[in-house]
Amino acid sequence: MAEISSDGTAVIKTEKEIGNGMSKKEAKKIRMQNMTASEKAYLRRRSMAEKVWPFFRFVILFGLGFVILYPLIYMVSCTFRERTDMNDPTVMWIPRNYTLKILKETIVAMDFWNTLKTTLVLNIGCSLVQVVSCAITGYGFARFKFKGKGLLFGIVIMMILVPTQVISLPLYTQFRFFGIGNLTMNLIDTKATMYLPALTANGIRSGLMILIFRQFFKGLPKELEDAAYIDGCGPFMTFVRVMVPNAASSFLTVFLFSVVWYWNDYYVSATFFTNTKTIALMLQNLDTELKLRLFNSATVEISPREQIVWKEAGCLISIAPILVLYTCLQKYFTEGIERSGLVA
Amino acid sequence: MTDNKKTGRKMPYEKRKAMYGYGFISLWMIGTLFFFLIPMIKSLWYSFNEVSIGTGKMVTEWVGLAKYKYVLNVDEHYTEYLKDMLLETLWKTPLVIIFSLFIAVILNQKFKGRTLARAIFFLPVIIATGPVYKIINGDMSSTGNTGAAQFSTMFSTDLVGELLQFLGIYGLSDNMSTMISTIADNIFGIVWASGIQILIFLAALQNIPPSAKEAAQVEGATAWEYFWKITFPYVSPFILANLIFTVIDSFTSPTNTVMGRILAMKEDWKFGEASAMAWIYFLIVLAAIGLITLIVNKLIYYEVD
């Protein structure tokens, strides 16, 4: 047992053992002498791969990481420079004149704090509701046999496939005259246009969430539920007590997606909201807002190059909160995955 | 509750389970009827009609297939955009899947700075679906800001050019450098399109039981064998989800030209044409997805079933 673990496992373990002192090294030497040629060749090949691979891994990750990060670095660089720096050809990454003015102006133009509060409450509320409704639906599709299941699941796939743009116009009339017969009410510009679809597993990208949950529940061993059924647990309680705890990591993953998608959505909210402001909507309209609020006229001309500063600042502050949220969730998220990995 | 149980006992087991199945999906069924099926049918109806805005409601007049004929034969952009988009999706999707699986396997290994690396590679998940990505991608046409778009692309290709100059191969051949820069441009697209796929694959990788790994090590499996015999079977159920997701993502992304054309038609109040375009597009996507599902479902491995 000890032999296997000290020779055959990952780099980290061997490194630790080397650090422990000479006695282990000597023991290894003795073991090496007793080995056959093929065993030695295997170990040599392995240690070569273990030495070269981290270097390649670093190069790959660093290069690709840079591709991802450079728009963000550029964003930060733009936010803290003065608009005149945009016309200076020597300024690429590092601003010549540092200033917080642009950042403050953008916060004012986007009415940032109020918008943030509205968006956060709406997003987290919708996401929570939607994750629960999608999980229930996904479980229904994964574990039960009923008539028309194929057809109904076809509809789920269609929900994923059909772009929102296609159904947004009829959906608008649906909400404008919501109800049956003559009993209709106008739901446009209320939060119900977001909450109602989320509650019934029809919100933003809910089709995909149902699919993910279905795939996930299908992959769990059936014995889990059978045990619960034999113990006299009803299907719904089985779902809550047995399946949900096993799906914790999956729940967190989907919740994370959901918050992000709601945060980023501007098409659906632009269709249904006229006065309710979300961060994404504000960022879309940043141009006009800037002109109205900062320069008090809709016709003022700012050169496109100089406008970039405010745009990048707007980008930065609109992804900052979700970035913070994500960093916190990321920790719970990976832990959730690892824990469920141990359980399975 | 007790009532339920009594009636439940009388029913055969299979039927009772089916009833519970309907129970689980009933919430979704109601929502789908109102928020998906009815709007879908309405949109299909529009595609066969001349649609105009009357006082307080839409006025429709039946014209049959005229809109479809117009879209396919008369509209000068639609078929061209459609062909381009389909081709692009065809070669990009497998690349995204392979790339994201590769990155997920790397990010699943233990090394210093892994948390940071993961955080960076998931960043596109946060950004790529939103308006911020539009601005990053230099797509400023929606705000009427073409100068900025030019600036943005200049900036990104310049970076590659500088790198090539630094490596001393810039003057070697023009073909070579254009090839490298197209690859570099596509790497940007692929990396930015793979965030969620990496996340899903990584979640799958972490569900591989440690016992499987130990067994493979005891048997002296090479990394290559380990990938194909352990990693791949465990990950395979997620390949379908990722494939579908990648295809959809490329079809619905804000940079999709066909979608742009449809939206432009809508803004011109040509709802009939817009709906017809959307439906042609949708049917092609549906056929493609159906084919993929058929093929992949034959190949993947479920623990249950």
Ordered DSSP codes for chain B? -HHHHHHHHHS-HHHHHHHHHHHHHHHHHHHHIIIIIHHHHHHHHHHTEEEEE-SSSEEEEE-TTHHHHIIIII-TTHHHHHHHHHHHHHHHHHHHHHHHHHHHHHHHS--TTHHHHHHHHHHHHHHTTSHHHHHHTT--GGGT-HHHHHHHHHHHHHHHHHHHHHHT-TTT-HHHHHHHHHHHHHHHHHHHH-HHHHHHHHHHHHTS-HHHHHHHHHTT--HHHHIIIIIHHHHHHHHHHHHHHHHHHHHHSTT-HHHHHHHHHHHTT-HHHHHHHHHHHHHHHHHHHHHHHHHHHHH---S--
Q: What rounded mean pLDDT belongs to chain B?
A: 75
Closest CA to A127 of A263, A249, A268, A259: A259
- CB-CB neighbors (< 8 A) of B211 in chain A: none
- CB-CB neighbors (< 8 A) of A171 in chain B: 35, 39
Chain A with chain B: Cβ pairs closer than 8 A: 283
- CB-CB neighbors (< 8 A) of B132 in chain A: 264, 283, 315, 318-319
Q: Which pLDDT value is given to residue A230?
A: 84
Q: Which pLDDT value is given to residue A218?
A: 82
Determine contact, residues A290/A117, Cβ cutoff 8 Å: no
Q: Which residue, among B28, B123, B270, would best test binding to A if mutated, counting the most A CBs under 10 Å from its CB? A: B28
More confident residue, B1 or A176: A176
Give the model's confidence band at B305: pLDDT under 50 very low, under 70 low, under 90 confident, else very high: very low
**Across B243-265, average pLDDT:** 76
- CB-CB neighbors (< 8 A) of A73 in chain B: none
Give me A39's structure tokens. Answer: 């065993």
Q: Is B74 exposed, middle or buried (0-12, 13-18, 19+ CB in 10 A)?
A: exposed
Give the model's confidence band at B57: pLDDT under 50 very low, under 70 low, under 90 confident, else very high: low
Give me B212's structure tokens. Answer: 């499987």
Tell which phi-psi region holds residue B175, choosing left (phi > 0), alpha (psi between -120 and 50) or beta. alpha
Distance (Å) from the alpha carbon of A207 to chain B's nearest alpha carbon: 10
Q: Which pLDDT value is given to residue A237?
A: 86
Give the model's confidence band at A22: pLDDT under 50 very low, under 70 low, under 90 confident, else very high: low
All residues at 6 or more sequence positions from A205 whose CB lies less than 8 Å from its CB, including other chains: A160, A257, A258, A261
A193 touching B (Cβ < 8 Å): no
> Model ipTM?
0.72
pLDDT higher than 70, residue B184? no
Q: Do B248 and A327 touch (CB under 8 A)?
A: no
More confident residue, B169 or B110: B110
- CB-CB neighbors (< 8 A) of A143 in chain B: 21
Distance (Å) from the alpha carbon of A242 to chain B's nearest alpha carbon: 16
Which of the residue ranges A114-118, A305-309, B48-52, B274-278 has the most confident prediction, judged by mean pLDDT? Answer: A114-118
Tell which phi-psi region holds residue B25, choosing left (phi > 0), alpha (psi between -120 and 50) or beta. alpha
Q: Which pLDDT value is given to residue B304?
A: 45
More confident residue, B248 or A153: A153
| pTM over the 0.80 mark | no
Percent of chain A with pLDDT over 90: 7
Percent of chain B with pLDDT over 90: 5
Q: What rounded mean pLDDT belongs to chain A?
A: 77
Q: Which pLDDT value is given to residue A134?
A: 92
The C-alpha atoms of residue B207 and residue A191 are separated, in whole angstroms, by 38
The C-alpha atoms of residue B230 and residue B235 are separated, in whole angstroms, by 9
Give me B257's structure tokens. Answer: 């030209």
pLDDT higher than 90, residue A128? yes
Which of the residue ranges A87-101, A322-336, B118-132, B275-289 has the most confident prediction, judged by mean pLDDT? Answer: B275-289
Closest CA to B65 of B57, B54, B73: B73
Q: Which pLDDT value is given to residue A344?
A: 29
What is the Cα Rg of chain A in Å? 28
Least confident of A159-168, B38-47, B169-178: B169-178
pLDDT higher than 80, residue B254? no
Q: Which residue, among B25, B150, B251, B277, would best test binding to A if mutated, counting the most A CBs under 10 Å from its CB? A: B25
What are the distances in angstroms from CA A149 to CA A138, A152, B36, B293, B297? 12, 5, 17, 16, 17
Strand B58-62 relative to strand A183-185: parallel, antiparallel, unpaired?
unpaired
**Across B248-271, average pLDDT:** 75
A52 touching B (Cβ < 8 Å): no
**Across B82-104, average pLDDT:** 87
A239 touching B (Cβ < 8 Å): yes
pLDDT higher than 80, residue B174? no
- For residue B297, give the chain A residue with the closest CA: A215
Q: Which pLDDT value is given to residue A136?
A: 92
Q: Which pLDDT value is given to residue B183?
A: 62
Distance (Å) from the alpha carbon of B175 to chain A's nearest alpha carbon: 23
Q: Do A144 and B251 touch (CB under 8 A)?
A: no
pLDDT higher than 70, residue B2? no
Determine contact, residues B186/B192, Cβ cutoff 8 Å: no
- CB-CB neighbors (< 8 A) of A10 in chain B: 110
The domains found in chain A, sorted by start residue, are 2-33 (no CATH), 110-284 (1.10.3720.10)
B305 touching A (Cβ < 8 Å): yes
What are the distances in angstroms from CA A145 to CA A133, A235, B241? 19, 13, 21
B39 touching A (Cβ < 8 Å): yes
Least confident of A140-154, A243-257, B85-99: A243-257
The C-alpha atoms of residue A230 and residue B219 are separated, in whole angstroms, by 39
pLDDT higher than 70, residue A149? yes
Determine contact, residues B201/B235, Cβ cutoff 8 Å: yes
Distance (Å) from the alpha carbon of A65 to chain B's nearest alpha carbon: 6
Give me B256's structure tokens. Answer: 């999709």
Q: Do B121 and A68 touch (CB under 8 A)?
A: yes
Q: 303-332 in A: which are within 8 Å (CB) of B?
A: 303-305, 307-308, 311-312, 315, 318-319, 322-323, 326-327, 330
Q: Which pLDDT value is given to residue A214?
A: 86
Q: Which pLDDT value is given to residue B152?
A: 41
- pLDDT tens digits for range A55-96: 888 888 888 888 788 778 888 888 888 777 776 666 666 777
Q: Do B136 and A315 touch (CB under 8 A)?
A: yes
